[in-house]
Amino acid sequence: MANWLQKQWLTFTLWHLLLLPISWLFLIVITLRRLLYKKGLLHSSRLNVPVIVVGNINVGGAGKTPLVIWLAEQLKLSGYKPGIISRGYGSSLVGVASVSLDSDPSAVGDEPVLIAMRTACPVFVGAKRVEVGLALLKAHPECDIVISDDGLQHYALQRDVELVVFDSVKGFGNGALLPAGPLREPISRLKTVDVIVGNGLQSGVSQGVTRVPIEMQLKASTFYNLNNRQLELSPAEFAGKSMTAVAGIGNPERFFLQLKAMGLHFRSKAYNDHYQYCAQDFEDIDTDIVVMTEKDAVKCTSFARPNFWVLPVRAEIDRQLLTDVLNKLDKLRN
C-alpha cells in the first residue's frame, strides 16, 4: 500500500480530484495550527539547552538518520555534548524510554537503535518531544544541546535551528499536500528553515526550492557480518557468490542502485519503510549472501545467520552545513 501511494504521489490523475479538496482543508488546518503556536495561543515549551530539529516536509524516508548521525558526530568534535530525541516511528512504546544498543527495535523504533549504536550519544524516545527532551536532560545533565530526529511539525517543542532534508531523486512528488500528495507542509515552508539539505543532490535547485540546498551523499565501501561485526569484506570479495539484497527503507531503490554501482549482481526484495522482519522472511532465500542496510540489520540481529552482511553508509556533507549551524548557535550565546 505504501509503495502504491508513493507512485500515486508522483503525478496527478483523475482520482486526485477527489482528494484535492481534502488537501486544501488540510492546508487550512496546518496553517491555523502553526499560527496558533506562533501567537502563543497553543502552548509550546523551550528546553534549557539549544534544540536542533532535523526533519522534512514530506512523508517517507529522506535521509534524516544519516544526517542526525553526522551532525551529532560533528557537534561532538566541536566541543558539544549532544543528546538525541526521537518519536521512535513504528514502536510500541507508551511514555518515554532511553535507548541502548540492546533495546528492542519493535519497542523503541529501528532508527533510534541505529542512532544510539552509531553516535554513542544519549538517545531517548517518546511521542511528546517536550517530555522526551526533559527526561533526557534530567538523566544526562551533561548534555548541552539536543538534536530532534524528525519533529519539524511538532511545534509544542521550541527550536533554535531547523534543518530540512529531502530526497533529491523523489523530490516533492506532485507538490500537493496530504492526502493528494506526499507533503506534510507546503514547499513554501522551506523559506523559513535555516538549512536545506539535498540527499543525493546532483545539481541546481529542486522543485519549488528558492535557494540552492547543501549537498549530502551517502557513501559506503565495505560490508560487515551481522553475526561478527569485526569481520569485514569488500564488494570484490563477494565475486562468484549468489546474493539477495533486502531493504525496508524509505527508498529501497537507492540502496539497490548503490549495490549495482559496486559491481554486485543480486536478487532484490523491497519492503515498506520500517518493516519489522522475522526469521520467516528469510526462509525462502537460498543465496550464498544476504545483504541489507544498517536500519534493516538492527531488526534482524536476534535471528541473524552467518551469511547476513550489512552495508553501513556515512553521510558526506559540505562543511558549510556545520558552519551555518555553529554560527546560529554562537548567536544564541551572545
- Quickly state the pLDDT bin for 89 (edges 50, 70, 90): confident
The pLDDT of residue 201 is: 63
- Is the CB of residue 112 less than 8 Å from the CB of residue 86? yes
Alpha-carbon distance of 73 to 316, in angstroms, equals 12
The pLDDT of residue 14 is: 83
Residue with cell 557468490: 241
Q: Residue 13 pLDDT > 90, yes or no?
A: no
Residue-range domain boundaries for the chain: 50-217+317-333, 221-312
- Quickly state the pLDDT bin for 3 (edges 50, 70, 90): low
Average of per-residue pLDDT across 250-260: 92
pTM of the full predicted structure? Answer: 0.94
Q: Does domain 50-217+317-333 have CATH number 2.30.40.10?
A: no
The pLDDT of residue 206 is: 60
Higher pLDDT, 211 or 142: 142
Give the pLDDT confidence of 294-309 residue by residue, as tens digits.
Answer: 999 999 999 999 999 9
Q: Which of 31-40, 194-203, 229-238 has the lowest mean pLDDT?
A: 194-203
Q: Residue 1 pLDDT > 70, yes or no?
A: no
- Quickly state the pLDDT bin for 251 (edges 50, 70, 90): confident
Q: Residue 202 pLDDT > 90, yes or no?
A: no
Q: Residue 117 pLDDT > 70, yes or no?
A: yes
Average per-residue pLDDT in the chain? 93
Give the pLDDT confidence of 66-80 residue by residue, as tens digits.
Answer: 999 999 999 999 999
